[in-house]
Amino acid sequence: MHDLSEELRTLPPAGVQEPARQLALKLETRQLFSIHRELLVVMYAAVAMVVAGVGWLVKSNLERIGPITLLTGILAASALCHAAALRAHMAGRVRSLGEDYVLLLGALLFSAAVGYAEVQFDLFGAAWSRHLFWLSLWQAAMAYYLRSRLVLSVALAAFAGWMGAELSFGSLFEPRQPLAGFGPRALLCALVFWGGGWLHRRRQPAEDAGFREVYRQFAANFAFWGALALIAEPDTRWAGAFVLMVLVFVVGRAGLAERRQSFLLYAVGYGTVGLVWLESMVLDDRIVRSWLGLFTVVGALVLLMRLRAQLKESTA
Amino acid sequence: MNVARPTVAEERWLTAASRHPALRAQIEALGQGGGWKTTTPLGRVLGVLLTLLGMSLLGGALSAFRSPWLVTGVLLMIAAEIMIARRRVYRSGIEEVLYLGGAVAAVMQILDWSNGDSEAGAVALLSAAVLLVGWRLLNPVLTTLAAAGCSLAISLVGTHLLGGNLRTLESAAFCGVLAIVALLAGARRWQRPSHDFMLDGLVMVMPWLGGMWLMGDAWRDDARSGFALVISTAFFSLLLATGLRRRQHAPLIGALGSLACAGYAAHELVEWPTYWQLIAAGAALLLTAWLSDRRLRSREDGLSSRAVDDLPGIELVQQAGAAVLAPQPGAPAAASVGGQGGGFGGGGASGRF
């Protein structure tokens, strides 16, 4: 083990935030020892295990248990999880880490129940994917009511699913029609998410509960994924390159202005990958392609080094 | 030989600045970091990814040479040394991948020339190269990777003390011994934080890697699973007790890995269907974590569960993790559920989508 308290004690008093120093000293001397991160990992793993187990249970035992029993069981479990979060909400207190993850489990179980009901009872017929839209609306409503960023993430992912923009790398290569394919859909998703964030722009941080940031993160990622998907299609390659450059400029500028390291990293990372990808598709000679790609990456790395100061001062 | 890297004092200040973001500006204003340039964890990850991309492109660009691996490797290591000496970068992700890639490329060329058919020797040589790079750059990820490589090399050796069918047991024993040695050494007060981090890496990874070797494909029976369950549970108890007593994170993380191994071994022994095992284990874990959090969250001193520091990117990781578990559309599937078609799993349906 090591202990940096000696260094922290020698910090000159001028300019030092004393509460921050006292907290740091407590942590270094292990007077205070937080297992917050370990609990976070355990809770996520636990939620993932339960959700995976429920999915498997449904798939394996449908005929033996029966659809109504299964659906009732999953919905009851989901309601129990929501009740725990509602209890905290009614008491007017901030949810604990445990309650946050129990709520996430409830939201995911509810999603599983709705998806299962759609598969089993064919509620929307040919418009089967619409259940994802209604699910996203319900999850968004719960997220707003219970002020949960995790549930909002689930809602936005369900919305993207309804739009046909999967969260998987392989979907970039799906042979769809260029204008109805992944690229335009992802860009449309990004626009909707950006709009969601825009509606939150005037809210105070305490009132906003971090929702604006969730919308903006989803918007930035889906926008870049859409641009990369456009580049992958021969018909929309140059349009994709143009969209990518606009996004690099807009997102990078926002990152610099707001000191958000995540936005700066998206601009540099996605921009470089997109350019190298474009070069590899446009050029025929492998050696020339490699050298040009190498120069592009070296340029990006130099830029990353130069942005170091902004990265360190940002908070995202 | 004078190797360009932070002195002990400089490294301690650099670690203090990165560990306590609220004091970073004041620490940097002191100028005790020796002018070394570090970056944030997210910046480091992007540095790693872009450098990997650049390295693969360099490999393609130099493919016309007769010995591209050696030329590429030497060039990459020279570039890393220049970056460290002139730009004074430390843990930027860029020089780390350059050095690692260079060393691995050079060793691959040597292996190619030697025409050796010993897989164990090749893995051992690669592990030694990774260990040297890790030691040079004070990088705990690489030293831990080298130890994992050594355990693989042991399993590949032709002759075994315990006989051919039990070769993975020797690898497991190697991991277990290394974990215990690192755990004992971790009790000492280390001046250089990176040396402590290297031990932490071994304590976190070796126990579960040993558990995985124990459950290797060499002996698939209940005796093996029972033995793995006992050893993993013993490691879990030891690491949990040590972590809580010393108030160190590495043994606690190692304990979680051992718990996963114990769970997997128990899965082999218990007759229940796997989905019930998953649901029961997940519910038990969630309940335990929830109760622990409830009991510890109000504590201002000692063992606590409140978030005390602002880990960069943790919010992003949580949001991404929640989105990954969310229902997603999949490919159309053949009828497998109630005649309506499609499979079903995860956070939602995947059928008919």
pLDDT tens readout for residues A223-239: 999 999 999 888 889 99
Provide mean pLDDT across the span B330-337.
38
pLDDT reported for residue A246: 96
Decide if B194 is inside a domain: yes
| Count of domains for chain B | 2
Provide mean pLDDT across the span A24-46.
91
Q: How confident is the model at residue A167 (pLDDT cuts 50, 70, 90)?
A: very low
> Higher model confidence: residue A131 or residue B210?
B210
pLDDT at A64 over 80: no
Asked if A303 is an interface residue toward chain B (Cβ–Cβ < 8 A), one would say no
Q: Of B285, B304, B328, at which residue does a domain stop?
A: B285
For the question of an ipTM over 0.90, the answer is no
Q: Which of A10, A56, A208, A273 to mutate to test the interface with B (most CBs of B within 10 A)?
A: A56
Q: Domain limits at B167?
A: 161-285
Where is average pLDDT lowest: A145-154, A258-267, B216-225? B216-225
Provide mean pLDDT across the span A183-197.
91
Q: Using one digit for the tens of pLDDT, what is the confidence trace for B50-77?
A: 999 998 888 888 777 777 788 888 989 9
Decide if B304 is inside a domain: no
Decide if B27 is inside a domain: yes
pLDDT reported for residue A217: 93
Decide if B88 is inside a domain: no
CB B203 within 8 A of CB B180: no
> Higher model confidence: residue B208 or residue A126?
B208
The pair phi, psi for residue A52, each rounded to 5°, is: -65, -40
Residues 90-129 of A with CB under 8 A from B: 96-99, 101-102, 104-105, 108, 111-112, 114-116, 118-122, 128-129
Asked if A289 is an interface residue toward chain B (Cβ–Cβ < 8 A), one would say yes
pLDDT at A151 over 90: yes
Distance CA B94, CA A305 (A): 10
Decide if B267 is inside a domain: yes
Decide if B76 is inside a domain: no
pLDDT at B351 over 60: no
- CB-nearest to B328 from A53, A166, A300 is A166
pLDDT at A12 over 90: no
- Asked if the Cβ–Cβ distance from B347 to A128 is below 8 Å, we say no
State the angle between helix axes of B222-246 and B193-214 in degrees (0 to 180), rounded to the nearest 10.
Answer: 160
Cβ-proximal residues to B210 (8 Å cutoff; 6+ apart), any chain:
B151, B171, B172, B173, B174, B175, B176, B179, B231, B235
- Asked if the Cβ–Cβ distance from B57 to A42 is below 8 Å, we say no
Where is average pLDDT lowest: A235-249, A272-286, B165-179, B256-270? B165-179
Q: How confident is the model at residue B8 (pLDDT cuts 50, 70, 90)?
A: very high
Decide if B13 is inside a domain: yes
- Asked if the Cβ–Cβ distance from A268 to B46 is below 8 Å, we say yes
pTM of the model: 0.85
Q: Of B285, B310, B344, at which residue does a domain stop?
A: B285
Where is average pLDDT lowest: A259-273, B192-206, B294-308? B294-308
Q: Of B285, B311, B333, at which residue does a domain stop?
A: B285
pLDDT reported for residue A116: 83
Read off the amino acid at residue B128: A
H/E element, B122: helix B119-137
> In chain B, what residues touch A57 (CB-CB under 8 Å)?
275-276, 279
Q: Supply the mean pLDDT for chain A.
A: 85
Classify residue B290 as exposed, middle or buried by CB count within 10 Å of its CB (0-12, 13-18, 19+): buried
Decide if B333 is inside a domain: no
pLDDT reported for residue B28: 85
